[in-house]
Homo-oligomer: A and B are copies of this chain.
Amino acid sequence: MSRTPATARLMDGSGLARRLVDETAARAADLTRRTGTQPCLATVLVGEDPASVTYVKMKRARCEKAGIRSRHLELPATTTTAELVAVLADLSGDPDVHGILLQHPVGPGIDERAAFEAIAPEKDVDGVTFSSFATMGFGLPGFVSCTPGGIMRLLDAYDVDPAGKRAVVVGRSAILGKPAGLMLLARNATVTYCHSYTADLSAAVREADILVAAVGRPRFIKGEDIKPGAVVIDAGYNPGNVGDVDFDTAATRASLITPVPGGVGPMTIAVLLSQTVDAAERQLA
């Protein structure tokens, strides 16, 4: 039996991210020229977790390429919550810093929430504070979590209007699934949240006009559950460059689908950079 060919159009996150970064770099250059001040992102790393070290390094390199200054702080793994809060409060009050990124997870022994809440909302370019969560929830202006923000930009770039559509979000993490659902709701989708307790995941997925997979389990979403014509956003990124959706089968049914890699992934840093320049523009205005 021959394999059914993919019919879905690929959503090119790499290309969209590149355009967003270019646009962001142009805004950063313009702002620097007009004000004499370069936008600055403070990156805070606690401990020496290899993945975190790599992520921060990557983010800083991307900042530099986009004309955004980064100020890097490395704190030992023995840092207390109070010490970390003090560092973040300092950065929040520092007029030379426009955005703050606390690389997380921060490791055991630190109250991550207390640390996040020490970030001033107007510098929360990573969208991790209560305030940012609430503005996402109410559809008010504010910074968004970067990955869901990237997902919404992908939908917009491919003219997918969520209004009135059934959107199903699989996963409910604080920085991905939960805000993604709220942002889709703010854009008038009928939103369903699924997760590990969901009794019949296949039934729920089959309803989705827009599916956001954000569970972090390789090929967890079966391709045959994809509704014909659905838009499939795969925010998973598992070992071996495998997403949360069984891509090969899903691509024979969906109308639009994000590849892994090259779909949602590249959007995250692009949104971080863009929001950093947004923050700088407001603070330097």
A-to-B contact residues, CB < 8 Å: 113, 130-131, 133-135, 137-138, 140, 163-166, 172, 174, 178, 182, 185, 188-195, 197-199, 204
Q: Is there contact, CB below 8 Å, between A190 and B192? A: yes
Q: How far is the CA of A197 from the CA of B191 in the complex (A)?
A: 11
Indicate how many identical chains form the complex.
2
| Secondary structure dominating the interface of A | mixed
Query: Which 7 A-B residue pairings sit nearest by Cβ, starting from the closest?
Result: A130-B134, A188-B197, A192-B192, A190-B198, A133-B134, A164-B197, A164-B199
Q: Is there contact, CB below 8 Å, between B185 and A190? A: no
A209 (CB) vs chain B CBs: closest residue: B199
Q: How far is the CA of A199 from the CA of B182 in the complex (A)?
A: 18
A187 (CB) vs chain B CBs: closest residue: B197
Contacts of A135 in B (CB 8 A): 130
Contacts of A164 in B (CB 8 A): 197-199
Task: Indicate which residue in B137, B166, B194, B197 contacts A178 across the interface (CB closer than 8 Å).
Answer: B137
Contacts of A197 in B (CB 8 A): 163-164, 188-190
Q: How far is the CA of A134 from the CA of B179 in the complex (A)?
A: 11
Q: Is there contact, CB below 8 Å, between B140 and A113? A: yes
Q: How far is the CA of A134 from the CA of B135 in the complex (A)?
A: 10
Contacts of A138 in B (CB 8 A): 133, 174, 178
Q: Contacts A134-B133, A137-B137, A174-B138 given: A195-B188 contact, CB under 8 Å?
A: yes
Contacts of A194 in B (CB 8 A): 190
User: Knowing that A172-B185, A189-B197 are A-B contacts, what are 11 other residue pairs whose CB atoms are under 8 Å apart, sorted by A's residue number?
Assistant: A131-B131, A133-B134, A133-B138, A134-B134, A134-B137, A137-B178, A138-B174, A138-B178, A188-B195, A190-B192, A190-B199
Of A130, A195, A199, chain B has the most CB atoms within 10 Å of the CB of A130
Contacts of A113 in B (CB 8 A): 140
Q: How far is the CA of A43 from the CA of B211 in the complex (A)?
A: 44
